[in-house]
A = this chain, B = another copy of it.
């Protein structure tokens, strides 16, 4: 039964370009309940932050708790953030620049709020909840619309000199490859993100390749999701299977580059694409990584898919809230 005299609970928020997820956790980081809102970024930062606050309040209420029982809220936001000042500096897929997230949410919620970059937050959640903080060095690769990363070095989250470490999606792996949104050519993200996979499928269909997906969604592949791709592969769609396998091979090369450089105990893959297509992609990722990691450097490296899925963000945000208040 909920103890309503002390602030024993934490809320973790995952603020994304399309949805807001708020999860309530007890002091042992066990999930109590969660609420999901759509982000509606087009309404502007103030409206989005109002939605975040409401999502948090609703989640607390759904768990039969009172806001007075929440010790802190952690929030992961996409893009460049300044955790010290509680600001999102630049978040292209929210259309945000210099937004005082913490100040705004603390005013609305009257609870301490702590902000971090969403990839660092996911890494934190996976490290604590899934890996039980055991390995000392971990590389997290999060594949969704884009690709981001998180690092654990010597048992601590590593964010670099200006808090921007982990941008592994823009690691150039093919100098002469296709152009990336960032301006470079042949970034990892160009080959393996959800957008990259979608683009390759659309272009294959345009070139006359036959795919289950057109039967499922129509010629223009309206509302294509990663889950549809999984379904198509399971129905024997060789065109889609090959495209996903290629994305997995590129991912393996990125994994190898990171293992050669950082010699971690664990490489963990997460994000929407891995959640939907992990079973399809992981064997090819591991195979490609193994064949690209330097001889002798593969021993003791585990390459795994996170099981936390969508909950990595809210879990990590709750870990942040706990760490900042204990």
**A161 touching B300, Cβ below 8 Å:** yes
Q: Which of A21-29, A165-173, A202-210, A273-281 contacts B (4 or more CB under 8 A)?
A: A165-173
**What is the 8 Å Cβ interface bit string for chain A, positions 261-278, against chain B (1 contact, 0 not)?**
111110000000000000
Give complex CA distance A317, B7 in Å.
53
Give complex CA distance A240, B132 in Å.
54
Main secondary structure of the interface of A (DSSP, over half): loop
**A162 touching B263, Cβ below 8 Å:** yes
**A257 touching B171, Cβ below 8 Å:** yes
**What is the 8 Å Cβ interface bit string for chain A, positions 228-259, against chain B (1 contact, 0 not)?**
00000000000000000000001001001110
**What is the 8 Å Cβ interface bit string for chain A, positions 129-141, against chain B (1 contact, 0 not)?**
0000001110000
**A265 touching B161, Cβ below 8 Å:** yes
A153, CB-defined interface residue at 8 Å: yes
Query: A80 contacts which chain B residues (CB < 8 A)?
Result: 296
Q: Report the minimal beta-carbon distance from A218 to chain B, rounded to whole angstroms.
A: 34
**A263 touching B172, Cβ below 8 Å:** no
Q: Which of A46-54, A57-65, A174-182, A308-316 contacts B (4 or more CB under 8 A)?
A: A174-182
> Given the interface contacts A167-B297, A296-B90, does A160 sit within 8 Å of B173 by beta carbon?
no
A226, CB-defined interface residue at 8 Å: no
Query: A182 contacts which chain B residues (CB < 8 A)?
Result: 294-295
How many copies of this chain does one complex carry? 2
Choose from B135, B167, B260 the contact partner of A261 (Cβ within 8 Å): B167
**B297 touching A262, Cβ below 8 Å:** no
8 contacts between A and B (CB under 8 A): A137-B160, A153-B158, A154-B154, A160-B262, A161-B301, A166-B263, A175-B186, A182-B295
Q: Which of A80, A168, A257 has the most CB of B within 10 A?
A: A257
Q: Which residue of B lies closest to A79 (CB)?
A: B296
Query: A307 contacts which chain B residues (CB < 8 A)?
Result: none
**A175 touching B261, Cβ below 8 Å:** no
7 further A-B contacts with Cβ under 8 Å, apart from A164-B263, A165-B262, A172-B173, are: A90-B296, A159-B263, A164-B297, A175-B253, A182-B295, A257-B257, A261-B261
Query: A174 contacts which chain B residues (CB < 8 A)?
Result: 173-176, 186
Choose from B154, B183, B260, B300 the contact partner of A167 (Cβ within 8 Å): B260
**A172 touching B264, Cβ below 8 Å:** no
Q: Report the minimal beta-carbon distance from A170 to chain B, rounded to whole angstroms.
A: 5
Q: Which residue of B lies closest to A253 (CB)?
A: B172
